[in-house]
């Protein structure tokens, strides 16, 4: 799916941004880079900034015409600031990623970035099916080119992830831990209550809601078996003392 996505830089001016683009792409599982008329490439600064993503620079295509490069693409999204994309429908970065990923399951797609100084020309944007923008603060909307690439590639990877994977495993890395049986939890709560009653923190005649509040804390934490063992050991040591 991610292999069907081309990242295209039109006339990039700064060699460092080409390298940073490669790095940003590789961290997000993207490998297909195309440069249209770069000012200066190959260049050592691009390789330095790419760090461990130099393979993407080695394999990138250098072309002289956007139209030809997007000929085989079923979906082409140009990137721009919010107010530039006349006559082309707009998508924010997240929507852009979702569209690209949905299409990339079965076809080649492209995301196109313009040069640092002026962005994509009106003509280039009109060749795109949509334009994608990164929502920004009102008073300063100018992301560095490599930062914009990182942001879009990040959203693309997230979109691919949510499409392919079980969400729970990612959100909750503890899901494979051993969790105690409820009776063991109840036993722990009882021991804690007994200890706090002995220490007069809980008044036996008017216990109030202290225990309920403490239980709420441990429930939210979702104690695993090892943690419960530690807490039981803690209570034993305090009881002895």
Which residue from 66, 157, 188, 193 is in contact with its own copies, where contact means CB under 8 A?
A: 157
Verify binding: residue 88, its own copies, rule CB under 8 A. no
Cα 20 from chain centroid? 17
Verify binding: residue 44, its own copies, rule CB under 8 A. no
Rounded to a whole number of angstroms, the CA Rg of the chain reads 28
Which residue from 147, 187, 189, 191 is in contact with its own copies, where contact means CB under 8 A?
A: 147
Of 13, 129, 11, 131, the residue nearest 63 (C-alpha): 11
CA dist 241 and 189 (Å) reads 19
- Site pattern 161..200 for its own copies (x: CB under 8 A): x--------xx-x---------------------xx-xxx
Verify binding: residue 141, its own copies, rule CB under 8 A. yes
Verify binding: residue 57, its own copies, rule CB under 8 A. no
With a CB cutoff of 8 Å and minimum separation 6, the contacts of 31 are 2, 3, 25, 55, 56, 59
Of 164, 156, 163, 95, the residue nearest 129 (C-alpha): 95
Of 77 and 146, which CB lies nearer to its own copies in the complex structure? 146
Verify binding: residue 213, its own copies, rule CB under 8 A. yes
Identify whether the C-beta of residue 32 lies closer than 8 Å to the C-beta of residue 186.
Answer: no
Q: How many CA atoms lie within 13 A of 114 on its CB side?
A: 23
Instruction: Summarize as ranges the residues that interact with its own copies (CB under 8 A).
Output: 20, 23-24, 26-29, 49, 51-53, 90, 92-95, 134-137, 139-144, 146-147, 150-151, 154, 157-158, 161, 170-171, 173, 195-196, 198-201, 210, 213-214, 216-218, 220-223, 226-227, 230-231, 233-234, 236-238, 240-241
């Amino acid at each position: 799916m991610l292999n069907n996505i081309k990242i295209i830089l039109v006339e990039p001016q700064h060699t460092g941004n080409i390298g940073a683009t490669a790095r940003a792409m590789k961290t997000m599982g993207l490998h297909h880079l195309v440069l249209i008329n770069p000012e200066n490439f190959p260049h050592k600064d691009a390789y330095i900034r790419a760090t461990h993503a130099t393979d993407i620079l080695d394999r990138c295509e250098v072309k002289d015409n956007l139209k030809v490069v997007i000929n085989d693409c079923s979906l082409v999204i140009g990137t721009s600031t919010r107010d530039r994309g006349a006559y082309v429908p707009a998508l924010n970065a997240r929507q852009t990623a979702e569209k690209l990923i949905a299409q990339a399951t079965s076809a080649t797609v492209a995301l196109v970035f313009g040069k640092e100084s002026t962005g994509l020309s009106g003509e280039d944007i009109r060749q795109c099916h949509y334009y994608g923008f990164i929502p920004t603060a009102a008073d300063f909307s100018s992301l560095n080119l490599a930062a914009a690439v990182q942001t879009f590639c990040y959203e693309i990877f997230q979109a691919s992830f949510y499409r392919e994977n079980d969400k729970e495993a990612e959100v909750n890395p503890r899901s494979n831990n051993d969790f105690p049986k409820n009776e063991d939890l109840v036993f722990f709560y009882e021991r804690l209550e007994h200890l706090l009653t002995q220490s007069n923190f809980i008044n036996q005649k008017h216990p109030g809601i202290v225990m309920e509040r403490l239980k709420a804390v441990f429930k939210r934490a979702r104690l695993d078996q090892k943690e419960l063992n530690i807490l039981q050991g803690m209570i034993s040591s305090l009881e002895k003392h």
